[in-house]
């Protein structure tokens, strides 16, 4: 029998991925006003221009956010629309993006946050504090939420990058096989990445063998390597431009040695000309980034760069140009 290909093999085969945040906080005094403003904003999303810029970047896949931190998501969802109407857009923007970039031979990874219910005051869901407390009712609701989006997308997407996964889902008590099955309800080939802060927490092993690729969140690159850990207290740049914690030893540096870690595709998500955490943005030179990507790909790893946030999600020109130069340089070998 011919073995099934790894769900995330296309990430290793590609050159680079791009992540773009599209986060809308609608205006209005009432729920109805906010819903109307949210729909106007999503309806006005400049899809043609966005897709053109993505194609020009040379990226092989896109990670795009349904939403984050505002309680509003750019696509209808059966569960939300039944129990909490008004928090999803009528336009299924994610599906439209997936269909457009699939026509180019590119891939789409959809983003959802782990603490979705906490973004909505007075929500009816049963999730508790963001402390990893196991709540079977919440796990069921969260799984249904993701499954509804997966079914709605069908074959218009290729994977999930699910953030804050341990905020309300226990590392040890959650049935990860069932959870990942819910993620693939509409597409059994969808590759799943579960973000427990991985490299930012000094973790290099997958959360579960049931996921397909490491979420790979990293805070800082140093000398074309991953700074393993989080600059938790008093971060600063020393005279050499390296990020340190005042009074603390340097964090260890790390790079992949193999394509798979416990059967899971190695993948890194790094900020480009920006920062995930509450610290000043920082830039990298082209040469350092090319060395970093080539070293990751030499062992079969996959690399995604996050572009700085903009309200229109249209990718700042300066960073987009650097991404395109980097993609071209790595592609040429």
CB of 25 within 8 A of CB of 70?
yes
What integer pLDDT is reported at residue 260 of this predicted model? 98
Q: Coil, helix or strand for 299?
A: coil
What is the architecture of the domain spanning 9-332? Alpha-Beta Barrel (3.20)
Q: State how far Cα 231 lies from the chain centre.
A: 21
Domain ranges of the chain: 9-332
Main-chain dihedrals φ then ψ at residue 102, nearest 5 degrees = -65, -35
Q: What is the pLDDT of the chain when averaged over all its residues?
A: 90
- Please, which pLDDT band fits residue 2 given cuts at 50, 70 and 90? very low
Please write the tens of the pLDDT for every residue from 42-94. Answer: 999 999 999 999 999 999 999 999 998 888 999 999 988 988 899 999 999 99
Q: Cβ atoms within 10 A of the Cβ of 285, count?
A: 10
The predicted model scores a pTM of 0.94
Q: What is the pLDDT, as a whole number, of residue 123?
A: 65
| pLDDT tens-digit map of 303-321 | 999 987 665 667 788 888 9
List, for residues 126-143, the tens digit of each pLDDT value.
555 566 677 787 888 889
d(CA 124, CA 83): 8
Supply angle C-alpha 250, 252, 257, rounded to 5: 160
Show the tokens assigned to 50.
């966005």
Q: Tokens 């063998």 — which residue?
A: 209
Q: What is the dihedral of CA 284, 287, 289, 294, to 10 degrees?
A: -170
Compute the distance between CA of residue 63 and CA of residue 18 in angstroms, rounded to an integer. 6
pLDDT tens figures, 209-265 = 999 999 999 999 999 999 999 988 888 999 998 999 999 999 999 999 999 999 999
């Amino acid at each position: 029998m011919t073995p099934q290909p790894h769900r995330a093999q296309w990430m290793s085969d590609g050159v680079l991925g791009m992540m773009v945040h599209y986060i809308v906080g609608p205006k209005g005094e009432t729920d109805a006003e906010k819903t109307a403003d949210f729909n106007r904003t999503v309806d006005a999303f400049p899809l043609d221009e966005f897709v053109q810029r993505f194609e020009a970047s040379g990226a092989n896949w896109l990670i795009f956010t349904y939403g984050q931190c505002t309680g509003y998501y750019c696509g209808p969802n059966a569960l939300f629309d039944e129990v909490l109407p008004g928090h999803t857009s009528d336009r299924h923007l994610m599906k439209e993006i997936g269909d457009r970039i699939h026509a180019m031979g590119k891939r789409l990874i959809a983003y959802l946050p782990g603490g979705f219910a906490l973004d909505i005051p007075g929500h009816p869901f049963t999730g508790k504090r963001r402390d990893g407390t196991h709540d079977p009712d919440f796990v069921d609701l969260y799984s249904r939420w993701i499954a509804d989006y997966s079914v709605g997308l069908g074959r218009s997407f290729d994977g999930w990058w699910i953030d804050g996964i341990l905020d309300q889902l226990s590392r040890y008590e959650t049935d990860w096989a069932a959870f990942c099955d819910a993620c693939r309800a509409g597409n059994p080939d969808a590759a799943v990445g579960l973000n427990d802060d991985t490299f930012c927490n000094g973790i290099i092993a997958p959360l579960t063998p049931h996921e397909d690729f490491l979420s790979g969140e990293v805070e800082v690159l140093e000398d074309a390597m991953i700074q393993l850990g989080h600059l938790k207290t008093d971060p600063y740049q020393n005279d050499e431009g390296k990020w340190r914690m005042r009074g603390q030893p340097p964090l260890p540096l790390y790079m992949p040695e193999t394509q798979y870690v416990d059967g899971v595709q190695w993948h890194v998500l790094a900020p480009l000309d920006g920062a995930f955490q509450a610290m000043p943005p920082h830039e990298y030179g082209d040469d350092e980034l090319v060395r970093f990507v080539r070293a990751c790909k030499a062992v079969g790893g996959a690399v995604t760069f996050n572009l700085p946030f903009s309200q229109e999600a249209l990718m700042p020109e300066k960073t987009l140009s650097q991404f395109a130069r980097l993609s071209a340089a790595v592609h040429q070998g």
